[in-house]
Amino acid sequence: MVSTHNLGFPRIGGQRELKFALERYWRGEINAEALEKAGKTLRLQHWTIQSGLDWLPVGDFSFYDHVLDTSQMLGNLPARVDKNADKLTQYFQASRGQAGSSCCDHQIAAAEMTKWFDTNYHYLVPEFSADTAFSAHPERLIAQVTEARSASYNVKPVLIGPVSYLWLGKSKDHTDKLALLENLLAVYAGILQELAKQDIEWVQIDEPILVTELTPEWQQALQKAYFSLAKTGVKLLLTTYFGQLQQNLQLACELPTAGLHIDAINAADETIRVVDWLPSHKILSVGIINGRNIWKTDLNQALDLLEPVHKRLGERLWLAPSCSLLHVPIDLHSEQNLDDDIRDWLAFAVQKLDELQVLAHALNAGRSSVASQLDENTQAIMRRQHSTRVHNTAVKQRCESIRPELSKRQSVYAKRAAIQQAYLQLPDFPTTTIGSFPQTNGIRQARKQYRLGQLERAEYQQQMQAEIRFAIHKQLELDLDVLVHGEAERNDMVEYFGQQLQGFAFTDNGWVQSYGSRCVKPPIIFGDVSRPSPMTVEWTQYAQSLTDKPVKGMLTGPVTILNWSFVRDDQPRSKTCKQISLAIRDEVMDLERAGVKIIQIDEAALREGLPLRQSQWQAYLDWAIESFRITANGVSDKTQIHTHMCYSEFNDIIEAIAAMDADVITIETSRSQMELLDVFRDFEYPNAIGPGVYDIHSPNIPSEQSMVALLKLAAQRINQQKLWVNPDCGLKTRRWEEVEPALKAMVSAARSLRAQLAA
């Protein structure tokens, strides 16, 4: 018999119960006991859902982040947390920080957050230094084991492996992280022995770094780790996900563990090689259901892959989703408004586990034992394949006929820049903002009423126009040079466009955890993408009608729309991206025709689409940059294209960024004190740049001097003729009381610079 198991279940709850419990707890509305109870209720619910599996995960639940849980279990919360506080308080101090409220309370900075591999989940970065000393605190995990067992579940604790844990963390004093391995392994051994005492048979130990490019030092660390953890009394299931093992394949097979889990979605063609290399005492867990996407599995196709493996491994074969189901929504049944066609094609976490059972049955008792389920599945797969909702011949033809000229501006930058300057007549150090202005309650209310049909279109339009008038008047008062309409009509920079494009669907409850209590609801791109009608022109045109100063048209770029959505799996991502790029290109051209002189195309998520292995970066960048260029470059020379990216790690992709050929790029820099600009010492960025001088993530109002200082730093690296003055990102999360003085100071900073530096 093949066994089934799961690597992890979403924690947030079908109705986001965890989010609401956490937020009530943080506001002081419920106590710790009530929060713990909410956690317990959710865990039990999740185990009940998974109860058909042979092994249920324990330790995958978390109040904030499983990496932070690991840090706490290893006695490695940042030293700044209050030693006298209880564990839960310490945990939230590390995750959220603590404001210095009264005289004696000092401020505690939260741990840094960063993306979990190539997902949109953020983890709290472990901190290391030469003084780091680990200690074992597995109480919480063991309590949860007991909890699951008292409900009679067969459990498999889940741990982040020691080597991935080190790899994910940051050395605060440049200590070599691997120097900490020895001590860390002793602590892991202690925890595993503790679990063995609880009669735990299997422990899932996640080493996702096995799908990245590892130096020999890190490979040796894995060897050392698993040799030293081989005799703790539990069986270890070494777990990899999010990609192919490639050069680490042999290593993963040979490490002395009792089992190995591989991602057979991203590395289907490695499966047989793994079987070849796998020592005969090991079990192999094949991650056969996609844990990163929302499509139904083609069960027959999966069986085609599994059956030969089953033949060779027999009982040594386990089945699972490719990775934790943390990255997909919980239950398709909570969707009331999805249309039936599309619902028919989808599987969320609960449905994915059902698929797993069908596959196990088919292997154990033959496909005929689940003939009706397989048949139903085939029908759904076929309906999707042939649906006219998915396929649009005109879009396909247009994509086929993309010629290289489509992605080229008419003239080179230098020539365009001169034409644009004559057309726009901007001062030196032109000032602008990134697009959004504060989203007030009034704005949210209007959007909601309109969505619910409580507000007529005309009335809604009037309210939005009033917001635009307000934003334009404020900007004129502040004397900014290039204005924006303020994005009042958008609740989200991707959803706003997705809702107006063909080929997108939206869920009511398809929440996926982003960090802590924050969730996102990614759109589902199910079909060929096209734009039935203009999406932003009326707002921008209205804003432009109120002033002679240029108003920027404001769009989200194709790569960002792609990277923040669930993407169809029946064609390469690059192809879907091209389709989006053509749709947004149409909008660009319409804006230009409507008299808009400057158009900004945001690519906030370009960097996060980079593959985990650097050797695959160029292929991604090639099509991603090409897509941006298709979107942007149809305009005439005098139209100025801006792009915006809200991060600062550019060093390794600067050439690709330059190849986008936007006339102006605005980027985040203020938090790093312009450190980022170091890259421009070695690389002469050809076009204009607006390094953000105002950190919009903080409520603090930046002073004129601080911004002048930042700009002077920037002017050391960038030709001052090419410098723009702007905040780090959009201002929608701020309040006008913060924004106004900050922008006032920013405009003064630009003026003072003009006086001091301008030729």
Just list the catalytic residues. 697
Least distance (Å) between residue 509 CB and ligand GLN: 24
Tell me whether residue 306 or residue 598 sits nearer to ligand GLN (CB atom). Answer: 598
Least distance (Å) between residue 604 CB and Zn ion: 5
Instruction: Tell me how many residues contact Zn ion (CB under 5 A).
Output: 3
Least distance (Å) between residue 665 CB and ligand GLN: 12
* Distance, C-alpha 35 to centroid of its chain: 27
Residue 497, class by beta-carbon neighbours within 10 Å (0-12 exposed, 13-18 middle, 19+ buried)?
Answer: buried
- Select from 260-268, 402-410, 428-436, 528-536 the region that touches ligand GLN (CB under 6 A): 428-436
Instruction: Tell me how many residues contact ligand GLN (CB under 6 A).
Output: 13
Helix 573-593, helix 617-632: angle, nearest 10: 20
Provide the strand spans (E) within 18-171.
Answer: 56-58, 113-115, 122-124, 127-128, 155-160, 170-171
User: By CB under 6 A, is residue 531 in contact with ligand GLN?
Assistant: no
Tell me whether residue 169 or residue 550 sits nearer to ligand GLN (CB atom). Answer: 550
Least distance (Å) between residue 150 CB and ligand GLN: 46
Angle at 558 (CA atoms; ends 420, 659), nearest 5 degrees:
50
Footprint of ligand GLN on 596-635 (CB under 6 A) = 602, 604
Tell me whether residue 528 or residue 602 sits nearer to ligand GLN (CB atom). Answer: 602
Is residue 342 within 8 Å of residue 526, measured between CB atoms? yes
Q: Among 327, 730, 734, 743, which residue sits at the site for ligand GLN (rule: CB under 6 A)?
A: 730
Tell me whether residue 585 or residue 644 sits nearer to ligand GLN (CB atom). Answer: 644
Least distance (Å) between residue 584 CB and Zn ion: 17
Least distance (Å) between residue 493 CB and ligand GLN: 5
Tell me whether residue 513 or residue 556 sits nearer to ligand GLN (CB atom). Answer: 556
- Select from 5-13, 401-409, 432-440, 715-723 the region that touches ligand GLN (CB under 6 A): 432-440
Least distance (Å) between residue 487 CB and ligand GLN: 6
Tell me whether residue 364 or residue 672 sits nearer to Zn ion (CB atom). Answer: 672
Stretch (H or E) spanning 586: helix 573-593
Tell me whether residue 329 or residue 557 sits nearer to ligand GLN (CB atom). Answer: 557
**Residues 35-74 as x/- pattern, contact with ligand GLN by CB under 6 A:** ----------------------------------------
Least distance (Å) between residue 646 CB and Zn ion: 3
Q: Which residues contact residue 133 at a Cβ distance below 8 angstroms, ignoring those fewer than 6 apart?
A: 75, 183
Tell me whether residue 90 or residue 436 sits nearer to ligand GLN (CB atom). Answer: 436
Tell me whether residue 313 or residue 625 sits nearer to ligand GLN (CB atom). Answer: 625
User: By CB under 5 A, is residue 729 in contact with Zn ion?
Assistant: yes
Instruction: Enter the tokens of residue 418.
Output: 């001169």
Choose from ligand GLN, Zn ion, none: what does 435 bind? Cβ within 5-8 Å by kind.
Answer: ligand GLN
Q: CA nearest 406: which of 588, 149, 271?
A: 588
**Residues 284-323 as x/- pattern, contact with ligand GLN by CB under 6 A:** ----------------------------------------
Which letter, b or e, does each residue of 571-609 get, where b requires 16 or more Cβ atoms within 10 Å of its Cβ?
Answer: eebeebbbbbbbbbbbbbebbbeeebbbbbbbbbbbbeb
Q: Which residues contact residue 283 at a Cβ distance below 8 angstroms, ignoring those fewer than 6 apart?
A: 3, 237, 258, 259, 260, 313, 316, 317, 318
Least distance (Å) between residue 559 CB and ligand GLN: 12
Tell me whether residue 288 or residue 746 sits nearer to ligand GLN (CB atom). Answer: 746
Instruction: Enter the tokens of residue 747.
Output: 């405009």
Is residue 467 within 8 Å of residue 443, measured between CB atoms? yes
Q: Among 302, 395, 482, 729, which residue sits at the site for ligand GLN (rule: CB under 6 A)?
A: 729
Sequence letter at residue 502: Q
Provide the strand spans (E) within 506-622.
Answer: 512-515, 518-520, 524-530, 552-556, 598-602
User: Distance from first CA to last CA of the chain, Å, rounded?
Assistant: 80
Tell me whether residue 288 or residue 604 sits nearer to Zn ion (CB atom). Answer: 604
Q: Among 78, 435, 691, 692, which residue sits at the site for ligand GLN (rule: CB under 6 A)?
A: 435
- Select from 516-524, 547-555, 729-737, 747-755 the region that touches Zn ion (CB under 5 A): 729-737
Least distance (Å) between residue 731 CB and ligand GLN: 7
Strand partners, 643: 601, 665
User: By CB under 6 A, is residue 554 in contact with ligand GLN?
Assistant: yes
Closest residue to bound ligand GLN by CB: 730
Is residue 693 within 8 Å of residue 707, measured between CB atoms? yes
DSSP string, 60-73: ---SS-HHHHHHHH
Choose from ligand GLN, Zn ion, none: what does 78 bind? Cβ within 5-8 Å by kind.
Answer: none
Least distance (Å) between residue 710 CB and ligand GLN: 19
- CA separation for the pair 327, 171 (Å, rounded): 28
- Select from 220-228, 318-326, 382-390, 429-437 the region that touches ligand GLN (CB under 6 A): 429-437
Strand partners, 431: 725
**Residues 478-497 as x/- pattern, contact with ligand GLN by CB under 6 A:** ---------x-----x----
**Residues 634-673 as x/- pattern, contact with ligand GLN by CB under 6 A:** ----------x-x---------------------------
- CA separation for the pair 486, 607 (Å, rounded): 25
- Select from 73-81, 228-236, 433-441, 515-523 the region that touches ligand GLN (CB under 6 A): 433-441
Stretch (H or E) spanning 262: strand 259-263
Is residue 402 within 8 Å of residue 578, measured between CB atoms? yes
Q: How many residues does the chain have?
A: 759
DSSP string, 604-673: TTTGGGS-SSGGGHHHHHHHHHHHHHHHHTTS-TTSEEEEEE-----GGGHHHHHHT--SEEEE--GGGT
Q: Indicate if the alpha-carbon torsion angle 148, 153, 154, 159 is positive or negative.
A: negative
User: By CB under 5 A, is residue 646 in contact with Zn ion?
Assistant: yes
Is residue 272 within 8 Å of residue 304, measured between CB atoms? no
Least distance (Å) between residue 547 CB and Zn ion: 24
The DSSP 8-state label assigned to residue 98 in this structure reads B
Stretch (H or E) spanning 363: helix 349-365
Least distance (Å) between residue 557 CB and Zn ion: 12
Tell me whether residue 50 or residue 436 sits nearer to ligand GLN (CB atom). Answer: 436
- CA separation for the pair 309, 262 (Å, rounded): 13
Q: CA nearest 50: which of 403, 350, 369?
A: 350
Tell me whether residue 540 or residue 556 sits nearer to Zn ion (CB atom). Answer: 556
Q: Among 436, 439, 517, 627, which residue sits at the site for ligand GLN (rule: CB under 6 A)?
A: 436
Which letter, b or e, does each residue of 350-365 get, where b requires 16 or more Cβ atoms within 10 Å of its Cβ?
Answer: bbbbebbebbbbbbee
Closest residue to bound Zn ion by CB: 646
- Select from 133-141, 251-259, 331-339, 725-733 the region that touches Zn ion (CB under 5 A): 725-733
Choose from Zn ion, ligand GLN, none: what does 732 bind? Cβ within 5-8 Å by kind.
Answer: ligand GLN
Instruction: Enter the tokens of residue 59.
Output: 């330790």
Q: Which residues contact residue 403 at a Cβ distance below 8 angstroms, ignoring those fewer than 6 apart?
A: none
**Residues 588-617 as x/- pattern, contact with Zn ion by CB under 5 A:** ----------------x-------------
Chain residues that interact with Zn ion, rule: CB under 5 A: 604, 646, 729
Chain residues that interact with ligand GLN, rule: CB under 6 A: 434-436, 487, 493, 554, 602, 604, 644, 646, 729-730, 732
